[in-house]
Chain A
Amino acid sequence: MFNTKTILATVAVLAGLAGMPATQAAEEAPHIEKQSWSFAGIFGTYDQNQLQRGFQVFREVCSSCHSARLISFRNLAEEGGPAFSEEQVKALAAEYEVADPTADGGTRKAVPADRWPSPFATEQDARDANGGALPPDFSVLAKARGVHDAFPFWIFNYFTGYSEGGPDYIHALMNGYHDEVPESAPHNADGTPFELPEGKHYNDYFPGHALGMAKPLQDGQITYDVAEGETAVPLTVDQYSKDVAAYMMWMAEPGLVSRKQTGFGVLLFLVLFAGLMYGTKRKIWSGIEH
């Protein structure tokens, strides 16, 4: 009697759990396509060429509005990142003026130890120049965004170590613009059609769909240098956004490669060590009934 009751109750609870995502999915944002990233997985590493291209996109487009206050010029020369040469970074830094109260006239040329200069002096300046919206800082932005997986798919993420939700979202956002409000736009709660506020731009993936930022990347906008003997990279929004998303991930997690490399060694050691410990334990317990 109790068994039947228990089973019924268990089934009821489980059915409730299984039914939930269905009701929830109806109002969720569109599905975000996961991309294949070189830095995903146990052996993930950054693609140096991609990071250099991403840096070019960041520098020529994004950085006119977005800051990256935690990044220093010197980081660009670090191993595992874009890995520009020290001379390149020195020359790059020298193109920028930074405020320095101890220098003549209050400014001086930047050096590799300086932080990446912000495009606006204050938050209010940034808002004034962007129709009241604040362009977020890029330093850790790739980790401040994510992809929402429906139940039960998010459970697998713990076993695959999926940590690329940020770059996936950024890539989707760059490719999710519409010139006009599309038919797929959600209706308001009272059934009236979606209305885009003045000065906003429709995007499939932005929460609420009304994004302050106009479509920042266009096909052919940036010209990548192609070294001799290398195949040319397509000059498309899709490619630009992948490159800049990878670069943003590097900014957010510059130590990713060495972290994963150390991790592989640590896991390998732990598995072997656990095997030895198990053998020792068995040996000690042999002959003991337990």
Chain B
Amino acid sequence: MSEHSTYTPGSGIEKWLDERLPIIRFSKEHLMDFPTPKNLNYWWTFGAILVMCLLVQIVTGVILAMHYTPNIALAFDSVEHIRRDVNGGRIIQATHAVGASMFFAAVYVHIFRGMYFGSYKAPREILWILGVLIFVLMMATAFMGYVLPWGQMSGWAATVITNIFAAIPVVGTPLLELLRGGFSVGNPTLNRFFSLHYLLPFVIAAVVALHIWALHVPGNNNPTGVDVKDSRDTLPFHPYYTMKDLFGMVLFMIPFAWFIFFAPDILGHPDNYIQFNSQVTPAHIVPEWYFLPFYAILRAIDFNLLFIDSKLLGVIFFGGSIVILFLLPWLDTSKVRSGNFRPMFKWFYWLFVINFVALTYLGAQPADGIYVLLSKICTAYYFIHFVVILPLLSRIEKPRPLPTSISESVLAKSHA
């Protein structure tokens, strides 16, 4: 988007560089001058917060890898070695472990913000799809990272999650053995998970670059969902949004630091302080909180459908719950982006949020009694929201009148 450039090389060296690799021009265009809607609220700072989370995970992770030993006999003790004997190790390890939770907390806010304000709608479908792809890569990375400390929950999570793949017809068993590097979870599993856990964050970083590229073609959505009309609607990214994002980041670091320093283990499970033993099954195998909604969907399916057995059906729903996110731009056909101007959508959006929280809660409960029924209801509603409610709403809903431009809505607000 070179039309925004106000860059003129200031010195001979800059001019020389500009004719060969215009990296300063590029940075100025995209990190400083980039025209950004002036009405973005604080939910929009989570993009920058997520970049920070990724960097924190990569930096702490690289340091942890210097001291960690990916061997089933040594892994558990090597993590304790990091906590006890490495300089600053307790903080670095806690930052990485808590950081995973904070990363997911931020990504859920980011996703739900996108859902409310219709940020997935044309012309931002690719931007949304790349985002969902990042989410999937994050889940894979977090899952494999959770296995590395080789505690009871690590080993059993690895067992349960890799088992999911065995339900796939024909290729299931070979795939399971490929993932595990053998017939059961063991040293080869730990080794390949360590290798992939180191690789995937860099893949995520690359997709994040594409995600930002796809953002900078149409530009940001905004709380009104109305397109930018002219320069009165926008502000340069720097200093306005660099400053706002920095403030958001510092604010986000407060709960982050609270967990690191005062409750570093509260987001984990006590059983993970017991070394993995394939002969002893924990009373409840629970994944980390950020997987619970999807885990609840997986477990909710305990019945066969026609020729599909319950195990495969569970996997289909589990996979479907993510795949459906990719299709969201085409399921919601309403022309109005922002939930603020969609009176019916607004209600169903919050119902969906409550349902999602309920799934999170149910994922942590034992699979018996009332929980089974509730899980089924919530799972059904999750899908109904996407395949029935959203397409239907687009047809029957009468949106409220939209402001003609961002600056008009801003002025109306300040005079109100």
Query: Contact residues of A with B, CB < 8 Å?
Result: 2-3, 6, 9-10, 13-14, 16-17, 19-20, 23-24, 42, 70, 136, 139-141, 143-146, 157-158, 161-163, 165-166, 207, 252, 254-255, 259-260, 262-264, 266-267, 270-271, 273-274, 277-278, 280-281, 284-285, 288-290
Pick the contact of B243: A252, A260, A280, A290 (CB < 8 A).
A280
Residues 343-395 of B contacting A (Cβ, < 8 Å): 344, 347-348, 350-351, 354-355, 358, 361, 365, 369-371, 374, 378
Contact B258 A207 (CB under 8 A): no
* Distance in angstroms between the alpha carbons of A70 and B83 in the assembled complex: 11
Which B residues lie within 8 Å of A166 (CB)?
270
Q: Tell me the nearest residue of chain B to A143, going by C-beta.
A: B273
Other A-B pairs, 15, CB within 8 Å; known A42-B262, A143-B270, A273-B250 = A3-B347, A6-B347, A10-B350, A10-B351, A17-B361, A140-B80, A144-B271, A145-B270, A163-B262, A207-B283, A263-B261, A266-B257, A267-B261, A270-B250, A289-B414
B43 to chain A, nearest CB (A): 14
Main secondary structure of the interface of A (DSSP, over half): helix
Which A residues lie within 8 Å of B378 (CB)?
13
Pick the contact of A139: B80, B351, B354, B410 (CB < 8 A).
B80
* Distance in angstroms between the alpha carbons of A281 and B243 in the assembled complex: 6
Contact A2 B344 (CB under 8 A): yes
Query: Contact residues of B with A, CB < 8 Å?
Result: 38-39, 77, 80, 83-84, 90-91, 94, 235, 239-240, 243-244, 246-247, 250-251, 253-254, 257-258, 260-266, 270-271, 273-274, 283, 344, 347-348, 350-351, 354-355, 358, 361, 365, 369-371, 374, 378, 407, 410-411, 414
* Distance in angstroms between the alpha carbons of A285 and B39 in the assembled complex: 11
Contact B240 A288 (CB under 8 A): yes
* Distance in angstroms between the alpha carbons of A146 and B240 in the assembled complex: 47
B320 to chain A, nearest CB (A): 22
B261 to chain A, nearest CB (A): 2
Which A residues lie within 8 Å of B83 (CB)?
255
Contact A274-B251, Cβ < 8 Å, known A42-B262, A165-B270, A166-B270: yes
Pick the contact of B91: A70, A161, A262 (CB < 8 A).
A262
Pick the contact of A20: B84, B344, B370 (CB < 8 A).
B370
Main secondary structure of the interface of B (DSSP, over half): helix
B254 to chain A, nearest CB (A): 5
* Distance in angstroms between the alpha carbons of A139 and B348 in the assembled complex: 50
Contact A70 B84 (CB under 8 A): yes
B411 to chain A, nearest CB (A): 6
A199 to chain B, nearest CB (A): 20
Which A residues lie within 8 Å of B370 (CB)?
16, 19-20, 23
* Distance in angstroms between the alpha carbons of A270 and B258 in the assembled complex: 10
Provide 30 A-B residue pairs closer than 8 Å at the C-beta atoms, listed in order of the A residue: A2-B344, A2-B347, A20-B365, A23-B370, A24-B365, A136-B274, A140-B80, A141-B273, A143-B270, A144-B274, A157-B263, A158-B263, A161-B266, A255-B84, A255-B90, A259-B90, A260-B262, A262-B91, A263-B258, A273-B250, A274-B247, A274-B251, A274-B254, A277-B246, A277-B247, A281-B246, A284-B243, A288-B38, A288-B235, A289-B414
* Distance in angstroms between the alpha carbons of A166 and B77 in the assembled complex: 20
Q: Tell me the nearest residue of chain B to A283, going by C-beta.
A: B243
